[in-house]
Every structure is written in structure tokens, then in C-alpha cells.
Amino acid sequence: MSLKDKLAGVEARYQEIERQLADPDILVNYERVAQLAQEKSNLDEIVTHYREYKQALQQYQEAKSLLGDPELGEMAREEFDQLEEQIPQMEEHLKVLLLPKDPRDDRNVIVEIRGGAGGDEAALFAADLYRMYTRYAETRGWKADVMTANETGIGGFKIIIFGIRGFGAYSRMKYESGVHRVQRVPSTESQGRIHTSTATVAVLPEVDEVEVDLNMNDVRVDVFRSQGAGGQSVNTTDSAVRMTHIPTGLVVECQDERSQLQNRERAKKILMARLYEIEMEKQRNEIESQRRSQVGGGDRSEKIRTYNFPQNRVTDHRINYSSYNLTAVLDGAIDEFIDELATREQAERLESELSEA
């Protein structure tokens, strides 16, 4: 199917949705209205750009017909040349808009950061990444809240799991999954030597219970007293919860809430997200026989980004792109990396579609 045929089909569907939303018999069905309104919202941008594209094609033909006119030919030539350059760009943009959208893109996310190689310095770097992502969430109007954390005595995290709630959170944060590396002189280093440490980041889309077949009979639940840095008990009740999914061996602990019930709910939410990601990974592996692309795949076994303090440089190795404003990046300015990664992913998907056509 040609690009124009696809776009015409989208516009026809858009017009049908508009017709249905004006139908009194449908307006009384609030669930159906909500579904139609969401579908219309998803098509708005495509239809708007398609109509601008059709108008440009019409103006192009009109300008072309006037090229030989003795009075209007010069003006028509200027418009013709301008549109001849713009129309291919509009077509490329429309191709990107027509790419199938990841159904998880609009979801909230659960982010898990673990200190990797480097001991205390890795834990401190995990805390830096946590701050970076919470600052980033603030700039986009999202809300972040800690679900569980295992702190070190010097302000770092062995592990921290937190949620980010906001429209489109997964569409941006999914590119952050992987191994992050830091190169700097630790505060505990008396010789001034540069150390290399790592932290792993996993970004999971939040899922509803209906999407995950979680049988609680397969889950062992243990309760214990919450502990702070160094292992000291921070309350006198068994409010902390550990859930073990027996078939997969997955273990989740939550202890940040004072209520055992709240910790149970949070642990269950994290467990469902992990099980969902396992299932999605199985599906991806079945569909893709060749090696998955690093972009969007979030393979945690590969180093994705280096934060080099002596050079004030942050480099994303997937796209060979560097920023020389490390302070701003750690303060949440990561859109430049995410934009580049999203653009590359779109280009690869377009190339894949063309090769399959």
C-alpha cells in the first residue's frame, strides 16, 4: 500500500470517528465515547499533517501550471522551488508518524537502579542517577516516588526502585535501560586516582493485573521488620514484605511504607512489571531471530553511557553522541540523548519497513 493510500485510510477513519462522536445514540455510551476520543487523539497529529501535505501538493500543482505565465511565472517559480523542497520532508515526517506505536509508550514506569562494580562508589553513582531521573521527571511534570530502597551509610544506594507517573513516561524513559559507567575520583580516594564504577538501570512499564497472569498461589510472601542503613531496625512491627515468585525465582522486597498492606501492594506491582517484561522479552526473541538493536532494547549486559568527570563529558555509546555539560546532564538534562535515540530508532524502523515492503 502506498503512503497516500495509508494516509487516506487514516483520514477516512478519523472522519468516521468524528461522525460517531456526533451520534446521540453513541454519546450515551460513556465507555465507547472514551475509546473513540482516545483513538481520535492518537490520529490527530497524523491527520493534521496529512491535510497540510495535501494542501502543499495542490499548491505545488498550481504553481507548476503557472511557470510559463509571463506575469506570474517568477512568483510561481519561487513557490514551486520552495514546495519541491518541502514536500519530500513532509512525506518523511508522515512516514514516521505512521509507524506503529508501542502500546506501552503512554504508561507509567517502574525504574530500578542497582550499584554495580565499584563498591561504595557504585552505590553513590546509583544515587546520582536516581537524582538525575527525579529531576528529569520534574522538568516534564511527572511525579516520582520511591517504592523500595537499600541505602548505604554514606548516602548511596545498593538498590533503589521508584515509580514515575506521567503521560508518556515509558516512551522517554525506556531508552535509559542498561549499564551506566562513571569515571571520577571518589571522595574516599586520597591519591587522586580516577576510578571506574557502574550502575545498572532497568525501566519497566507499569502494568494492570489483567495483563499479567499472576497466581498468588505461586508467590511466597515473607514479612520482616524494616531496616535502615547498616541493617538497624527502623520500626517495631513486621511491615516489610518479601515476595518470591516460585516458578521464576524472582524476588521483590518493599519496606519503605509503614503499613504492611502498602508494602504488599507495591511489591506486587513491581513483581507484575518484572513478569510482564519477561513475557515481552520472550515474544521479542521469538519475533527477532537476529540480534536485537541496542536502541530500545535495553540490554543490561551492554554499557550504554559513560559519565566522565575529568573531561566534563557524557557519552552515549549506542549513538556515539557526547555532551560536554556533565553537571547539567546529572541535573536532569537528558532530552538531547533521548531525542537522538528516538530518532535513530525511527530511522531503523523505517528502513525495516521499506525492506519488508
How do residues 286-335 score in pLDDT, each as one tens digit?
Answer: 645 333 333 333 333 468 999 999 999 999 999 999 999 999 999 999 99
All three cell numbers of 343: 530518532
Reduce the DSSP state of residue 245 to 3 states and report it.
Answer: strand
Domain edges within the chain? 3-98, 109-346
Reduce the DSSP state of residue 324 to 3 states and report it.
Answer: coil
Q: Which residues pair with 171 in a beta bridge?
A: none
Exposed e or buried b for every residue in 138-153, given b needs 16+ CB within 10 A?
A: eeeebebebbbbbbbe
Q: Mean pLDDT of all residues in the chain?
A: 85
| pLDDT value of residue 283 | 66
pLDDT at 150 over 60: yes
Predicted confidence band of residue 336 (pLDDT cuts 50, 70, 90): very high
| pLDDT value of residue 72 | 87
Average pLDDT over residues 336-346: 91
| E strands, 217-334, in order | 219-224, 240-245, 250-254, 303-308, 313-316, 321-323
| pLDDT value of residue 118 | 85
Name which CATH class applies to 3-98. Answer: mainly alpha
Greater pLDDT, 61 or 233: 61
All three cell numbers of 156: 548511596
| pLDDT value of residue 297 | 36
What are the distances in angstroms from CA 350 to CA 38, 92, 120, 357?
25, 9, 44, 11
Distance CA 290, CA 88 (A): 32
pLDDT at 189 over 80: no
Predicted confidence band of residue 216 (pLDDT cuts 50, 70, 90): confident
pTM of the model: 0.70
Average pLDDT over residues 255-284: 83
| pLDDT value of residue 100 | 80
Average pLDDT over residues 92-104: 84
| pLDDT value of residue 348 | 83
Number of C-beta neighbours around residue 221 at 10 A: 13
Contact assessment for residue 257 and residue 280, using Cβ atoms and an 8 Å cutoff: no
| pLDDT value of residue 92 | 87
> What CATH number should be reported for the domain whose range is 109-346?
3.30.70.1660
Distance CA 270, CA 63 (A): 59
